Amino acid sequence: MYIWEHAMPDILQDLGYLALGSRLKRLAERLQADATQVFEQNCFVTQPSHFPLLAALDRYGPLTVGEAVAALGVSQPAVTRSLLGLIDLGLAETTVSETDRRQKSISLTPDGIAAIARMKRDVWPHVARAAEELAAGPDAGLLDQLARVEAALDERSLSERARDGHAIVDYSDDLADAFYTINAEWITEMFSLEPEDRHVLSHPREAIIDKGGAILFVSTGGLGIVGTCALMPVADGTFELTKMGVLKTARGRKAGEYLLAATLDRARSMDMETLFLLTSRKCESAIHLYEKLGFRHDAGILATFGKRYERCNVAMTYPLDQPAQDIAAPAGPIA
What CATH code is carried by the domain that includes residue 115? Answer: 1.10.10.10
| 284-311 average pLDDT score | 92
Q: Tell me: do 247 and 138 sit in the same domain.
A: no
Tell me which residue range forms the domain holding 166: 161-318
- Last residue within a domain, chosen from 118, 135, 155: 155
CA distance 166 to 266: 16
Q: Tell me: do 202 and 65 sit in the same domain.
A: no
Q: For residues 295 and 277, is the Cβ–Cβ distance under 8 A?
A: yes
Grouping H, G, I as helix, E, B as strand and the rest as coil, residue 93 is strand
Q: Is the pLDDT of residue 60 over 90?
A: yes
Looking only at the bridges linking them, the beta strands covering 166-170 and 104-108 are: unpaired
Residue 331 forms part of a structural domain:
no
CA distance 317 to 244: 16
Q: Is the pLDDT of residue 309 over 80?
A: yes
CA distance 271 to 280: 28
Residue 324 forms part of a structural domain:
no
pLDDT band at 5 (very low <50, low <70, confident <90, very high): low
Our count of domains for the chain comes to 2
Q: Tell me: do 139 and 188 sit in the same domain.
A: no
pLDDT tens sequence across 323-335? 665 544 345 566 6
| 40-60 average pLDDT score | 89
Q: Tell me: do 232 and 266 sit in the same domain.
A: yes
Percentage of the chain beyond pLDDT 90 is: 65
Which pLDDT score is estimated for 140?
75
**Of 265, 325, 334, 263, the residue nearest 305 (C-alpha):** 334
- DSSP H helix total and E strand total for the chain: 15, 10
**Of 308, 320, 210, the residue nearest 276 (C-alpha):** 320
Q: How far apart are the first and last CA of the chain?
A: 72
Residue 46 forms part of a structural domain:
yes
7-16, 205-214, 240-249: least confidently modelled range: 7-16
* CATH assignment of the domain containing 228: 3.40.630.30
pLDDT tens sequence across 226-235? 999 999 999 9
- Last residue within a domain, chosen from 92, 122, 155: 155
Looking only at the bridges linking them, the beta strands covering 274-279 and 238-246 are: parallel
CA distance 296 to 327: 16
Q: Tell me: do 192 and 301 sit in the same domain.
A: yes
What's the chain's average pLDDT?
A: 89
Q: Which DSSP state fits 48?
A: G
| 183-206 average pLDDT score | 96
pLDDT tens sequence across 86-139? 999 999 999 986 666 677 899 999 999 999 999 998 889 999 999 988 888 877
Which pLDDT score is estimated for 330?
42
